[in-house]
C-alpha cells in the first residue's frame, strides 16, 4: 500500500469499484469534491487533512482528535484503523524495551518471541530494542533473536552495531561533571559503579568492599563480564571517559542525590524489577532513549516510531513515539501514558502484538 493512495478518511481508492468503472474520479484526484458530496461541497475530512498538511488522519500531527471521530462516524474504532493504515503505508521503526517488556521474568526472550520477530524482520519489519543494559549483556539475554538493526543501550548513552558491537554514537560526561558526581556520591556514603571507556574498551569500575550488599549482589551477576574492573581505591574509579553511574543503596541515601542531580543530568530513580533494590542511575543530560530513538529513526529512514515498555525509564521514549504500548505488568505511570496496554512480558505481549499488527 502506497501512502499517496490513502484518502483522508483512511481508505484506499485503488481497489474501489466505482473508480474502476469511471463513476468516481477518486477523492484525492478530485481534491475532496467527489459525487457523493456534490450536495454539500468538499469532503470535510479531506479538507481538514489538507489544512493540516497530512495525507490522511493517521499521519496528521493532531492525531488523534475528537474532530476525526465526529467526522468519520461510520467507522468503528477509527483511531486504531488509522494507526493500522499508518503502519502499512509509512516506514515504521518498532522499538522495545528489554527487561520487563521483551524479556520474560527469567531474563530471556522466549522461543516464540525470537521466532516471531525473526520472521517479521525477514519480511521487512524494522525492529530493535532500547535498554539500560550494555551491548554485552543484552546480546546474551536475546540470544536467538536476529534483528539486524543498531541497538540502543545504556538507556540511550550508546547506539551500537548489533552485528559487530561497534559504537555508532555515544554521549559522555565532561571530566568536571564526572568528578563532581563521584565526589557527591562518596560524600553521601554511596559507592558507585562507574562505566567508562578506556583506550576504546568499556569498563565498569567499583570498590567492592565499600559497596552496599545489594550492589555486591548485582556485581555477582556480572561475573565473567569483560568490563568487570574491581579497583582498590576511589581515586581509580574515574579513568577514561565516563558515561554512566549506577548507585545501588538505601532510599535514605539515594533520594537526596536524585533530587540534587535530576535537573542537570539524566537520572533514573527506581526499584530493580528483579531484586527490588533501590537504584539511582545517572547519565549525561542528552543520554535518553528518546534522543537515541529519534537519531535511529533518521538513520534508518523511518517516519514513525512504535514503542513498547514497562517502567519509568521508558516515559521519555513514549513521549516521542507515534504509538506506545505498555505491557500488562508495567507500572501505572507508564500505562497512563500509553496508547494501549497489551499482554504481559511473560505472555510474550510484544511479540503477539507484532504478530497481529506489524505484518
**What average pLDDT does the segment 44-71 reach?**
88
Between 28 and 187, name the one with better pLDDT. 187
Instruction: Give the model confidence (pLDDT) of 233-245 as tens digits.
Output: 999 999 999 999 9
Least confident of 23-32, 131-140, 190-199: 23-32
Q: Is the pLDDT of residue 134 over 70?
A: yes
Identify the residue whose cell numbers are 579497583: 231
Residue 68 near residue 57 (C-beta atoms within 8 A)? yes
For position 340, what pLDDT does the model report? 96
Query: Which residues in the chain belong to E strands, given as ranges?
Result: 92-96, 126-129, 151-153, 158-160, 167-170, 193-198, 201-206, 228-230, 241-249, 266-271, 278-283, 304-309, 323-326, 340-341
Instruction: Give the model confidence (pLDDT) of 202-221 as tens digits.
Output: 999 999 999 999 999 999 99
Rounded CA Rg of the chain: 24
CA distances in angstroms from 113 to 20, 98, 144, 306, 346, listed in the order given: 42, 12, 9, 17, 11
Least confident of 2-16, 87-101, 117-131, 316-330: 2-16
Determine the Cα–Cα distance for residues 152 and 45; give it in Å rounded to an integer. 39
**What average pLDDT does the segment 254-266 reach?**
98
Q: Is the pLDDT of residue 315 over 90?
A: yes
- Which H or E run includes 272? none
Q: Is the pLDDT of residue 11 over 70?
A: yes
Structural domains of the chain, with CATH: 3-88 (no CATH), 92-167+290-357 (3.40.50.1000), 175-283 (3.30.1240.10)
**Residue 36 pLDDT class (50, 70, 90 cuts):** low
For position 40, what pLDDT does the model report? 64
For position 193, what pLDDT does the model report? 98
Dihedral over alpha carbons 329, 332, 333, 334 (to 10 degrees) = 30
| Packing angle, helices 349-357 and 111-122, rounded to 10 | 30
Residue 290 near residue 93 (C-beta atoms within 8 A)? no
Q: Is the pLDDT of residue 38 over 60?
A: no
Question: Which of these, 234, 239, 240, lies nearest to 184 by C-alpha position?
Answer: 234
Instruction: Give the model confidence (pLDDT) of 120-132 as tens digits.
Output: 999 999 999 999 9
Relative to beta strand 158-160, strand 151-153 is antiparallel
Query: Which residues in 163-240 belong to E strands, given as ranges?
Result: 167-170, 193-198, 201-206, 228-230
Q: Is the pLDDT of residue 1 over 70?
A: no
Between 149 and 155, name the one with better pLDDT. 155
Q: Is the pLDDT of residue 264 over 90?
A: yes
Amino acid at each position: 500500500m502506497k501512502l499517496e493512495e490513502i484518502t483522508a478518511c483512511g481508505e484506499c481508492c485503488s481497489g474501489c469499484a466505482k473508480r474502476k468503472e469511471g463513476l468516481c474520479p477518486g477523492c484525492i484526484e478530485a481534491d475532496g469534491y467527489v459525487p457523493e458530496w456534490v450536495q454539500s461541497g468538499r469532503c470535510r475530512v479531506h479538507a481538514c487533512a489538507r489544512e493540516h498538511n497530512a495525507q490522511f488522519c493517521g499521519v496528521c500531527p493532531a492525531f488523534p482528535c475528537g474532530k476525526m471521530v465526529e467526522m468519520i462516524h461510520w467507522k468503528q474504532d477509527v483511531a486504531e484503523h488509522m494507526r493500522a493504515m499508518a503502519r502499512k503505508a509509512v516506514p515504521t521503526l518498532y522499538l522495545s524495551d528489554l527487561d520487563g517488556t521483551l524479556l520474560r521474568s527469567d531474563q530471556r526472550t522466549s522461543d516464540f518471541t525470537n521466532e516471531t520477530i525473526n520472521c517479521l524482520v525477514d519480511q521487512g519489519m524494522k525492529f530493535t530494542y532500547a535498554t539500560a543494559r550494555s551491548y554485552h549483556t543484552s546480546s546474551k539475554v536475546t540470544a536467538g533473536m536476529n534483528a539486524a538493526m543498531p541497538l540502543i543501550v545504556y538507556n540511550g548513552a550508546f547506539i551500537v552495531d548489533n552485528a559487530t558491537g561497534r559504537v555508532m554514537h555515544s554521549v559522555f560526561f565532561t571530566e568536571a561533571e564526572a568528578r563532581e558526581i563521584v565526589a557527591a556520591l562518596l560524600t553521601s556514603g554511596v559507592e558507585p559503579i562507574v562505566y567508562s571507556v578506556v583506550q576504546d574498551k568499556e569498563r565498569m569500575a567499583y570498590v567492592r568492599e565499600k559497596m552496599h550488599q545489594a550492589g555486591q549482589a548485582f556485581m555477582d551477576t556480572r561475573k565473567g563480564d569483560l568490563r568487570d574492573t574491581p579497583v582498590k581505591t576511589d581515586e581509580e574509579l574515574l579513568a577514561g571517559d565516563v558515561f554512566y553511574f549506577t548507585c545501588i543503596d538505601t532510599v535514605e541515601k539515594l533520594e537526596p542525590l536524585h533530587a540534587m542531580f535530576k535537573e542537570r543530568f539524566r537520572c533514573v530513580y527506581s526499584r530493580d524489577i528483579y531484586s527490588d533494590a533501590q537504584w539511582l542511575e545517572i547519565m549525561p543530560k542528552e543520554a535518553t532513549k528518546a534522543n537515541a530513538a529519534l537519531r535511529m529513526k533518521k538513520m534508518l529512514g523511518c517516519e514513525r516510531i512504535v514503542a513498547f515498555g514497562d517502567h519509568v525509564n521508558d516515559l521519555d521514549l513514549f513521549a516521542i513515539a507515534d504509538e506506545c504500548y505498555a505491557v500488562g505488568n508495567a507500572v501505572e505511570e507508564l500505562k497512563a501514558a500509553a496508547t494501549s496496554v497489551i499482554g504481559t512480558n511473560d505472555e510474550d505481549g510484544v511479540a503477539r502484538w507484532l504478530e497481529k499488527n506489524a505484518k
